[in-house]
Amino acid sequence: MLKNSGSILSGNIRKIFLSLIILLFPTFLFAAGGTPPSIGPVRIEFIIFGLILLGVALFHHKTFYVALTGLTVLLIYKFVFDPGFHLGEHLFGTTPFGEQIMNKELRAGEWGIILNLLGLLLGFAVLSKIFEESHVPDILPRYLPDDWKGPFLLLVFVFILSSFLDNIAAALIGGTVALVVFRNKVHIGYLAAIVAASNAGGSGSVVGDTTTTMMWIDGVSALNVLHAYVAAFAALLFFAWFASHQQDKFFSIQKDAPTDLKIDWKRLVAVALILIGAILSNILYDMPALGVWIAILINALIIKVPWKEVPGSLKGTIFLLCLVMCASMMPVEELPNASWITAFSLGFLSAVFDNIPLTKLCLDQGHYDWGMLAYSVGFGGSMIWFGSSAGVAITNKFPEGRNVVLWLKKGWHVAAAYVIGFFVLFGLLGWEPADTKEHKIINCPVPGCPMASQTGTETSSLILPGISGRIY
């Protein structure tokens, strides 16, 4: 039996690898002739990345193998056709690694992002199981309405929770509650709404999302992202209304938990300890995963830790890390001038392209309305299941959500809510770039910018090749 399973597995890998090679063969022919290799105005890397995303969408039962194979093909391409690419430098930068460990301000390369995502996704999988074993999800239905208002209130709870917790943790806690109260019968549209609520809730808080934390570290005031909640709350009201009715019609809340069931306070304290560890290590060291795992190891002295959740979440975690690595190797070097149109577009781009490098480019560029940008890059990833780490975490619990077509079809209200929330914010507060953030582009075209009259041979302008200004 095991032998047959291994044969099937290797057969799937070979089929996917050969398919990608066949699809990419024409691009390799074109690539051999130019520097940088491109077809028309489009760099070959973007074509490969697009094919990887297409493969994820078409082969939703084989997303792990598609992502792993795609990363392999992209790395081979970079090694062969990009003489300026150095994997070690890409991962660890040029600053001595020991200095990066001691000083977070010197951290460079992708290792920090990769390690943090790995630790958070695996650690919060453990947290969600501990939370489930605390019996809180079993008892909660007693206090929730058994019509559409019940799932609506659950989404509000996830939204609030995410404002001071990591969005992965908020999504998994919400997903764990949904798993229990709906008896594992959760509508895909409601899964999308849980992810959206977790991403929206963190968009206006500098500790609620990786992108807002990056802004905070870079010197953006917490007050300059707070108004993202105007858009986030408007979006929440819209998608929560439709998703709650979807779920209630699909399967309503069950309120038949045993009356003698009691909360396991040891496990609930363990959950709180993990969350506190994440918050503290994020503030102090910009590495919330470190605090999560320190807390898990401490909890192992008090309770039985469900270690089996780690291997169960590993495939989904590796899938996301592969996509993040692929996205990080894209030659995204320029953006259009900061404007509300750019910010709006970034939301859609974040659905398929890691929002961390996009945010970094925007911070380098300056002159953004940081609250509007935080909402765009934070919430935008909710539109597709693999567009955010919260979405990948949820689909580790609910594999049926790994279907791009169904996610878009059943979760249509998330994309609509993004547009509605954005224009509610724009209509009420307008485009208000922060005056305190100095633009970093030499010869900046923005009136009044201190860099407008500066001269130089290099700029830090940012634009996707072949696309007149966009980001991650």
DSSP states along 376-436? HHHHHGGGSGGGSHHHHHHHHH-GGG--HHHHHHHTHHHHHHHHHHHHHHHHHH-----TT
Query: pLDDT at position 472, please?
Result: 28
Whether 225 contacts 207, CB under 8 Å: no
Structure pTM? 0.82
Alpha helix stretches (DSSP H) within 32-84: 44-58, 63-81
**DSSP H or E stretch at residue 128:** helix 111-133
- The span from the CA of 445 to the CA of 228, in Å, is 26
* Cα-trace Rg, the chain: 22
Mean pLDDT by 10 residues, the chain (472 residues): 49 59 53 60 84 86 89 89 86 88 83 88 92 88 87 95 87 92 93 96 84 79 90 97 96 75 91 91 86 95 93 90 86 75 92 77 83 94 90 91 93 97 96 63 57 48 34 28
Residue owning tokens 């069931």 = 261
Among residues 426, 401, 410, which one has the least CA distance to residue 347? 426
Among residues 399, 392, 396, 382, which one has the least CA distance to residue 320? 392
* Interacting residues of 401 by C-beta distance below 8 A, sequence separation 6+: 188, 191, 192, 385, 391, 394, 395, 407
> Taking each helix axis from N to C terminus, what angle separates 288-299 and 111-133, rounded to the nearest 10 degrees?
40
- In this structure, are strands 42-43 and 38-39 parallel, antiparallel, or unpaired? antiparallel
128 is written with which tokens?
């969600």
Q: Which residues pair with 164 in a beta bridge?
A: none
DSSP state of 370: H
| Count of Cβ atoms closer than 10 Å to residue 280 Cβ | 15
Q: Please, is 249 exposed, middle or buried when counting C-beta atoms within 10 Å of its C-beta (0-12, 13-18, 19+)? A: exposed
Among residues 428, 84, 420, which one has the least CA distance to residue 238? 420
